[in-house]
Structure 1
Amino acid sequence: MRILIFALGMIGLVCFTGCKQNEPYYQTQARYNEADAIRAAEYEKMQTQQYQQNMQNQQRNEYLRNSNMKQIQVNQ
């Protein structure tokens, strides 16, 4: 009976220390996941800004093209 209790105690001790050793891995993984989420949000923000800038440039180019066409018509 003593051997059984001792064996169960040792198994519990090994499992407990094993779980404690794995804890930093999960904390590190959580930090990596958080960093990935932040990078993804920054990338999405950058893409949105780039899209808006492209739309503004396209509108400006279209305006300039139209004003140049009007100027050409006036000159003819």
Structure 2
Amino acid sequence: MGNYAGILGTNAAIDYISEINLDDVHEHEVKLNKVMTSVLKDVNGLSIIGPEDATKRGGICSILLTTLTLMT
């Protein structure tokens, strides 16, 4: 049997992506990055890895925890 659900889902995803404005998606992503940065910058022992400018970061945030103690 074919993967009919996957085919229909892919078609729906293509239809959705073709209808949205990617500039709006990017603008929303930058807005979320700015909110996240404003909260995380005040956390002791936590650093955001990557550019400080939210417009130059992608949708994934990498962080460094310097105060984390690993237990073995």
Q: TM-score, normalised by structure 2?
A: 0.32
More strand by share: 2
- Greater relative contact order structure (CA < 8 Å, 6+ sep): 2
TM-score by length of 1: 0.30
Q: Which has the greater radius of gyration?
A: 1
